[in-house]
Chains A and B, each alone.
Chain A
Amino acid sequence: ETGVTQTPRHLVMGMTNKKSLKCEQHLGHNAMYWYKQSAKKPLELMFVYNFKEQTENNSVPSRFSPECPNSSHLFLHLHTLQPEDSALYLCASSQVPGTSVNNEQFFGPGTRLTVL
């Protein structure tokens, strides 16, 4: 049982829709991450939040908009997506790198997104 939950688990949306992915961690961590994993491809880091502040944006298109209202919650707002954005979107949390000897990241189960 992971301490990181994600909803919804599956999402099908059209290119003109607006939807949001939600992530919540119950581990007392203060860093949260969004990753994209396309079929048969490696993990791609999208965004990093440390202490609710965005510290990394790996050249992600503006149709993906993250929001971190507090250290336990992370959202990914989606609008006007393209079919090639279909992928598994994984949320993870950890202690802020460099602040703890334990750097392990815990992943949520992911949201499998299909864009039609």
Chain B
Amino acid sequence: RKEVEQDPGPFNVPEGATVAFNCTYSNSASQSFFWYRQDCRKEPKLLMSVYSSGNEDGRFTAQLNRASQYISLLIRDSKLSDSATYLCVVNSGNTPLVFGKGTRLSVIA
């Protein structure tokens, strides 16, 4: 089983839609969780950290379920500028971050 698994997509959604991405991780000792965003031909950038209680940043909501070992990202009212690849990232303490393969989102006018 891969350490971090994501549906690669692509997810093609109209503007204004709500879209959700899920990610599962295999290491139950994982401690920190993140969502990164990578635009085409650019470097990944941190979108948001994921906290146990769930957290929200504007139109973006991240959730963590430790029992089931999955993380989710919800994007409400999608904008054209949200089109990118979203990377699920997990950290197990003393090791480098483990990146998922990413989920590609295309928001269509």
Residues of chain A having any CB pair with chain B under 8 Å = 2, 31, 33, 41-43, 45, 48, 56, 88, 90, 94, 97-98, 103-110, 112
Contacts and interface: CB of A to CB of B under 8 A. Distances in A.
Interface of B: 32, 34, 41-46, 49, 87, 91, 93-97, 99-102
A97 B94 contact: yes
A34 B44 CA distance: 13
Given A42-B101, A103-B32, A104-B34, A98 B93 contact: yes
A105 B43 CA distance: 11
Given A103-B32, A107-B45, A109-B42, 13 more contacts: A41-B101, A42-B99, A42-B101, A42-B102, A48-B96, A90-B43, A94-B97, A97-B91, A97-B97, A103-B97, A109-B43, A110-B42, A110-B43
* Interface SS of chain B: loop
A106 B46 CA distance: 8
Contact of B96 (A33, A107, A109): A33
Contacts of A107: 43-45
A105 B100 contact: no
Contacts of A109: 42-43
Nearest to A104: B46
Contacts of B101: 41-42
Contacts of B96: 31, 33, 45, 48, 56, 97, 105
A105 B97 contact: yes
A41 B45 CA distance: 17
24 contacts: A33-B96, A42-B101, A42-B102, A43-B87, A43-B99, A45-B99, A48-B96, A88-B41, A90-B44, A97-B91, A97-B93, A97-B94, A98-B93, A98-B94, A103-B32, A104-B34, A105-B46, A105-B97, A107-B43, A109-B42, A109-B43, A110-B42, A110-B43, A112-B41
